[in-house]
Chain A
């Protein structure tokens, strides 16, 4: 289409005076049937590109994982007289049907779909009848960086795109793409895509890296910055446990906060996102599952308690700050030891060749669901997902069928090339991230160059450009944080009758590399002597500190498999020290395997299912005691048995807690 006609459309329908750099080029290329990859920062105006395509061509399907954005997009399209709808998992079937009917009859210009909807049977049913004129893939980097780990749905889009007739316009959009990701997306889109790149500099960003040497220092810095900086922000953590830890720490200090990660229900997540939008929280501690599509323009700061796995992730995560162009502070807390967290993520995502063969030979014999595979192989959910995704990529395993089953669809031995290559890439990404942390040059220039933008002008705002000294951390702040980390909270999620089984849970300390952990290990595996008395005294203090006013009337020991009465002996001495009785109200009704023999949660639960029985008529508020808490399944099962028997409020206490489950 001619520039003139498009400008006319822009001014009349969209009431905008002129195109921004790159927009016209993108629209013209797409309308001419080219495949287009747009690498443009957030706020550049990518939505105009697909709104224009929809206005000219008709039904344009936009795949986007950003549910919050979808709603805004529909409103915006409405203003321009475009008929737009969204399809997402919040809607019920009848609404879905109605929307798809509209699309089928040619009554829609824009249809926003979350990628996981492709699996929905209704969508599949309507698909052949939809007059789709163009296709847009938002957050297209998910094809490349996340595709392998968490976004198999994106792979599906790619497969679908490859089968589109060549004349159908396809536009992929992303804010972040290194040259490698760009090439990857391009090859996935099939044939020569036109790449249109914009400038990645965020001139309102104040980038900082602060070295720390302990968990307590991290919390103290978070405390310092959250109290110092104005406006609302996000604390990104590498683990779910850390988000809860940060939130509970800040919460205790009276700061309005909460945590956010993938274990929360969709409702809870939505509620917390809304809380953030409406400034009900000063700060939210989250894993990277928060943020895609978070459309809050005035996020003033983002603190990372652990560095992410790559620069791409980092740019993506900090990209959520300061969209209103006002100054935003980005603080990365760097403890060199955190490297092991990222390495363990990389290793966890690389299953062994044995597990590949195991999964594949199971699927040769019969079709299985993800959970069946976990139970029969003992692999973690992540491992099973990665293996399946890779085997699907290699065309050895078929797509999940509508009832959730996978089958082997071809003979052949799995290749590990893709996996090894991916691992090398991830390790290289990690090195690049650490190089960014250690760089002495302008951080913004470093970041942009890495991401393929040839910017050279120093930002003048990052810690390296300013060269002024960091504020110093007061010892009070550090001391306060140290107290918090000494008694880690036990995160027990199980419910009984819609209420949590446990009111609260604490450990004396972590298991690995602590005095407490070493003492437990020595008693259990070397001396086989009772736990030392200082453990009893310290535990007694912790319990009094947190729960002295909870009316606890008895102590219950978790019945053990093998530790030969160590826990019971400890519970007895603890009860004496607390001045309350040790109660014999729960027993084991069948033999079980030691929990550490199992690698995933589903198996651990299966191992202990109905293994404990509470004595009927049990009552009062009770303290349930164990030595080491790993997955928490044992405590949860004992708690449920006690609740069933009639117990009142329950509190859990473990001598030590593992950080990752492979610590034991």
Chain B
């Protein structure tokens, strides 16, 4: 399967529904569809597709470059593409994934997302690290956004026990921040314990909007979401409203049917999540008890949902 056409479509600028229209017309075989001259496609979408294909050389060059960096490009129809992303996100599932590290981590049987504020209290950070350590040791793949603060703290916990982790990045896989992570965690990436993942154009720089966009992937890859610490849903900074990324992740979890948990700490944001019924409180006991309690509530339904994977028709393997 040639990932080139998938990349072209993913970054075409077409709307999600239009991309789906193209995939539908292609009947699952994008390569054959393109080489056959886009049969059945008409109007504006056809014009856009023709233009993109004419200028495909640049993306072809980019694809070669990614391969040389050891980065995998996984189209929606590839067997390595995580089924649970398609199942959960349907139309909104990324058309391509860019992955550095062990791709099979994305298909982990059990996984949990651990996220939270950049500027968390020492207590919340400590809990995030302990959570990472616990779930890492128990064989879960721990999914984080690799952001400073709670995310990285959880990841470092996983590292301490040589567990498995997935980082969903808010920038392209070839952005300089990505390379910084790859350098810093080369040993983990190489040993197959860490996969860094992005759906964005490989060269995309960090943007607040991307940070929000990735939440759906973080949640969809996980059995449950655990929040270490959050601020309030909305804050006003220099006269501008700012949405909390953590709240957005929790909202996504609700929408996508994943249980959400938050440490029951005397922190305004955490208490607000609990008060609004967005996340279940998790008492901060010493030792592993906190996490065992979470794990107990989790296992049965999470297992069940995997038994009958439904392949959305549009992204079936070619």
Contacts and interface: CB of A to CB of B under 8 A. Distances in A.
Interface of A: 118, 121, 124-125, 127-133, 135, 156, 159-165, 168, 363-367, 392, 395, 398-399, 401-403, 405, 407-410
B207 interface: no
B190 A398 contact: no
Q: Which of B11, B69, B70, B176 has the most CB of A within 10 A?
A: B70
Contact of B69 (A125, A364, A401): A401
A163 B60 contact: yes
A159 B68 contact: yes
A164 B68 contact: no
B134 to A, nearest CB: 27
Given A128-B203, A132-B55, A132-B57, A367 B183 contact: yes
A165 B4 contact: yes
Q: Which of B60, B62, B63, B176 has the most CB of A within 10 A?
A: B60
Contacts of A407: 70, 182-183, 186, 189-190
A156 B63 contact: no
A93 to B, nearest CB: 15
7 contacts: A127-B58, A127-B62, A131-B54, A163-B61, A165-B57, A365-B186, A407-B70
A239 B60 CA distance: 40
A398 B64 contact: no
B58 A401 contact: no
B288 interface: no
B179 interface: yes
A363 B60 CA distance: 28
A125 B54 CA distance: 19
5 interchain residue pairs of minimum CB distance: A409-B70, A132-B57, A163-B64, A367-B183, A399-B68
B257 to A, nearest CB: 36
Contacts of A159: 64-65, 67-68
Nearest to B180: A403
Given A128-B203, A165-B53, A402 B60 contact: no
B87 interface: no
A124 B179 contact: no
B110 interface: no
A128 B53 contact: no
Contact of A366 (B54, B55, B186): B186
B56 interface: yes
Given A128-B59, A164-B57, A398 B68 contact: yes
B288 to A, nearest CB: 31
A403 B176 contact: yes
B: interface residue count bin: 20 to 34
Nearest to A166: B35
B56 A128 contact: no
Interface string B94-134: 00000000000000000000000000000000000000000
Given A156-B68, A163-B4, A398-B70, A364 B61 contact: no
Contacts of A405: 179, 183
Q: Which of A132, A133, A168, A410 has the most CB of B within 10 A?
A: A132
Contacts of B187: 364-366
Contact of A130 (B55, B183, B190): B55
Contacts of A399: 65, 68-69
Contacts of B174: 124
A128 B58 contact: yes
Nearest to B61: A160
A161 B186 CA distance: 29
B137 interface: no
A406 to B, nearest CB: 10
B19 interface: no
Contacts of A121: 176
Given A128-B11, A132-B55, A160-B65, A165 B60 contact: yes
Q: Which of A162, A168, A407 has the most CB of B within 10 A?
A: A407
B58 A130 contact: yes
B201 interface: yes
A401 B175 CA distance: 10
B297 to A, nearest CB: 38
A163 B63 contact: yes
Contacts of A408: 186, 190
A332 B172 CA distance: 55
B201 to A, nearest CB: 7
B189 to A, nearest CB: 8
Interface in B153-181: 174, 176, 179-180
Contacts of A127: 58, 61-62
Nearest to A128: B58
Contacts of B58: 127-132
Given A128-B58, A156-B65, A366-B186, 7 more contacts: A128-B11, A132-B58, A156-B68, A364-B186, A392-B68, A402-B179, A403-B179
A262 to B, nearest CB: 25
Nearest to A164: B60
Nearest to B51: A131
B12 to A, nearest CB: 11
A410 B70 contact: yes
A599 to B, nearest CB: 26
Interface string B261-281: 000000000000000000000
Nearest to A399: B68
A124 B64 contact: no
Contact of B176 (A163, A366, A402): A402
Q: Which of B11, B62, B68 has the most CB of A within 10 A?
A: B68
A364 B190 contact: yes
A135 B190 CA distance: 35
B57 A403 contact: no
A163 B56 CA distance: 10
Interface in B180-198: 180, 182-183, 186-187, 189-190
B69 A135 contact: no
A607 to B, nearest CB: 28
B203 A124 contact: yes
A365 B183 CA distance: 10
Contacts of B180: 403
A368 to B, nearest CB: 9
Contacts of B176: 121, 402-403
B52 to A, nearest CB: 10
A256 B59 CA distance: 51
A135 B183 contact: no
Q: Which of A156, A165, A367 has the most CB of B within 10 A?
A: A165
A367 B189 CA distance: 11
A124 B66 CA distance: 11
A125 B203 contact: yes
Contacts of B190: 364-365, 407-409
Contact of B179 (A125, A131, A163, A401): A401
A164 B183 contact: no
A367 B182 contact: yes
A133 B179 contact: no
Interface in B22-75: 53-65, 67-70
